[in-house]
Structure 1
Amino acid sequence: MTCPPPDAKAVRQAITWRVALREHGNDPAFEQRCMQWRNACPSHELAWQRVVHLDQELDLRAVPAAGIALRTLETSHKRLQRRQALKLLGGLAMVGSAAWLAKDLDLISPWSSDYATATGERRHITLADGTRLQLNTRSAVDVAFNGQQLVVKLRRGELMLDCRQTLHPQFPVHVYTKDALLQAFDSRVALRLEGDCVHASFSHGRLAAQQADTGGWQWLEPDQAWRVTRDGVQREQPASMDALAWTEGLIVTRDMRLADFLAQVSRYRHGYLTCSDNIADMRLSGVFRLDDPEQLVRLLPRTLPVQLRELTRLWIRVERLS
């Protein structure tokens, strides 16, 4: 079943702990007290996770006003509701960082979803039926389980779903978005939501997508790349990037356009990252670690005849080496 939202009191307490931890620095005793509060009640942990995700999404280093917002919420005597918190935090962030706002308009997803990740975060979850779920950066899902059937709604971003060892293997896992519905049987599936389509690939088991016009199901072939929309299913050209490499903390490219590579790296960092048009079609192949996307960007001049133009730490443009 979908978890209910934490109550207002728990959210206020979570904000208080979050602010206090930043002020106390690395104080093991204080961190232990915070952990005891989190473990005292499931609502405490849920409130903590959602406040942390929102905090990370705002990137307090880039948006100083967000820290003021958290302190304002901490001392407020009004009932704290999710929409009120988002309105206040979003309004202050808008003043502090237009670049952040343009990149993270879908702020409500990590706040209201059952499971979510912030920028640069990857998360492993084992669901009630034994299905293993991994979320990539900036992803959000809702989950429902009635004791037999598991339903996963991909709200944004990217997931890997492994349902090869579940309590009820005879039942498929239903995965849907606003424009697509899929069924996974005993499979390991990678899905990425992009606009009105879902990019799908899988290497084990069976995967089917529902046809909007007939309501029937189309079986997809494994080890292929597929594009699923409300209008149907299309096979995609061989991908220039390994669809599951991110689950190992990697980007693996094969003759990938530089512009496309930078677009992928941008998903794991805050700020603005692009390249000039005259080098957008440069090709890049290799294995790159996602743990430090900033270092990854700075390695580009060693691989290609390019240079980095930095207006700020958060604004980088890759240009042809002069």
Structure 2
Amino acid sequence: MTHRPDRDGHNLTASTPTTSTAYPALNPAVLEQAAEWLLLSSDDWDQPAKQAFQRWLGQHQDHQRAWQRALHLQSMLGNLPEQSAQILQSNPTLSRRRAMSTLVMMMTTGGLLAWQSGVLNSHDFTTRTSEQLDVTLADGTRLQLNTNTQVDVSLSSSRRQIQLQQGEILINTGKNGLYLEAPFHVSTRDAQLQALGTRFSVQQQQHQTRLQVFEGRVRVSGHQGQEWQIVTAGQQVQFNQLGIRHQQAASISSTLWTQQLFAADNLPLAELVTELQRYFSGHIRLHPTLANQRVSGLFPINNIPDTLSLLAQSHPLEVSNLFGVWLTIQPRL
């Protein structure tokens, strides 16, 4: 028997299956109801809620079977619903309906077997131009995606793997529950990275990859397994498939995109435009005579037309805006 104590010391009781996962088929709607009760069970239930749960449990044997299955899933995950908050809602854009569907899938035989085999989480995350995304993975890792980024995430009790397909990410690694001994890897087009308890960013650029380490260390290795370098806190390196190309100090200001900002320090205007273009789905055209004009400041990246309009107020240039998708920067007459 499994007992779930409430805040008053009472127990919500149901039988829990032991080792078998060969469950008979259940109506997905009933499984969803059980999943809902499981997610709600961390809250401070009042007396009407407790009575409603007991009524639901006693309405049909399938309800009891579904609740047994939910408790079995809980026993494998550990502390649900705290774990479920990380696993099922790791993507803040997921609707509750979609999260519930995920939990129902996990309560099927196939889902439970997948958990027993150690495959605990798998997600694809994508941002479009001008979007950012901040997610917490099941192992407690905070993963932030910059504009136009795509990653594949696979977490298991033996290995944590992020495949950076394109774009830029900021990672603060975590180690929760079943992931305590699992190494953390990031794979890019150019190399393999292994985090050694750390906070770091990875940007896959056109001809190379940039790694910046802000805490801890990151091992950089070629795809054939040869170790190139261990990068420590405060360092950044650029590399391609042939190896490390350049090393310098890390720039914490380069992570200001997480606050919807870009910092320019005496930067040529052409480089600023190139950076702002990453966050604008239209086109920015810069008059060639302005390319080397130097600019400094903090520039919002959530509304590029407004940002360039503000720039024009403090610099000798003009910005024309055609339908919000074609911006032209030219000298002020």
Please state how far the C-alpha of 1:267 moved relative to its aligned partner. Answer: 1.4
Please state how far the C-alpha of 1:300 moved relative to its aligned partner. Answer: 1.3
Task: Tell me whether 1:146 sits opposite 2:156 in the alignment.
Answer: yes
Return closer, same or farther for 1:240/1:304 CA change in 2, 3 Å cut-off.
farther
Structure 1 or 2, whichever has the larger Rg, is: 2
Return closer, same or farther for 1:189/1:138 CA change in 2, 3 Å cut-off.
same
Return closer, same or farther for 1:140/1:316 CA change in 2, 3 Å cut-off.
same
Return closer, same or farther for 1:207/1:241 CA change in 2, 3 Å cut-off.
closer
Q: Which amino acid aligns with 2:309?
A: R
Return closer, same or farther for 1:127/1:291 CA change in 2, 3 Å cut-off.
same
In 1, distance between residues paired with 2:249 and 2:300?
Answer: 22
Does the aligned pair in 2 maintain the 1:162–1:189 contact within 8 Å?
yes
Q: Which runs of 5+ in 2 are unaligned?
A: 1-94, 105-122
Q: Which amino acid aligns with 2:221?
A: Q
**SS at structure 2 position matched to 1:144:** strand
Please state how far the C-alpha of 1:164 moved relative to its aligned partner. Answer: 4.9
Return closer, same or farther for 1:241/1:292 CA change in 2, 3 Å cut-off.
farther
In 2, distance between residues paired with 1:298 and 1:216?
Answer: 47
Please state how far the C-alpha of 1:303 moved relative to its aligned partner. Answer: 2.4
1:11-22 mapped onto 2 (5 Å cutoff): none
Note the alpha carbon deviations across 1:128-178, whole angstroms, 9 max, x for none: 211110001111100111213210000111100111555545544211122
Task: Tell me whether 1:42 sits opposite 2:52 in the alignment.
Answer: no
Q: Which runs of 5+ in 1 are unaligned?
A: 1-34, 45-112
Return closer, same or farther for 1:214/1:225 CA change in 2, 3 Å cut-off.
same
In 1, distance between residues paired with 2:183 and 2:248?
Answer: 27
More strand as a share of residues: 2
* Paired residues, number: 222
Return closer, same or farther for 1:39/1:163 CA change in 2, 3 Å cut-off.
closer
Q: Which amino acid aligns with 2:158?
A: Q
The TM-score normalised by the length of structure 1 is: 0.62
Please state how far the C-alpha of 1:38 moved relative to its aligned partner. Answer: 4.4
Paired residue for 1:135, among 141, 145, 148?
Answer: 145
Paired residue for 1:174, among 176, 185, 189?
Answer: 185
Task: Tell me whether 1:278 sits opposite 2:304 in the alignment.
Answer: no
Q: Which amino acid aligns with 1:225?
A: Q
Q: Which amino acid aligns with 1:143?
A: V
Note the alpha carbon deviations across 1:177-211, whole angstroms, 9 max, x for none: 22221111111111111123111111100012114
In 2, distance between residues paired with 1:252 and 1:139?
Answer: 20
**SS at structure 1 position matched to 2:202:** strand
**SS at structure 2 position matched to 1:114:** strand
Alpha-carbon RMSD across the aligned residues, in angstroms, is 2.8
Identity of aligned residues (%): 27
In 1, distance between residues paired with 2:96 and 2:221?
Answer: 46
Does the aligned pair in 2 maintain the 1:119–1:137 contact within 8 Å?
yes
Task: Tell me whether 1:208 sits opposite 2:219 in the alignment.
Answer: yes
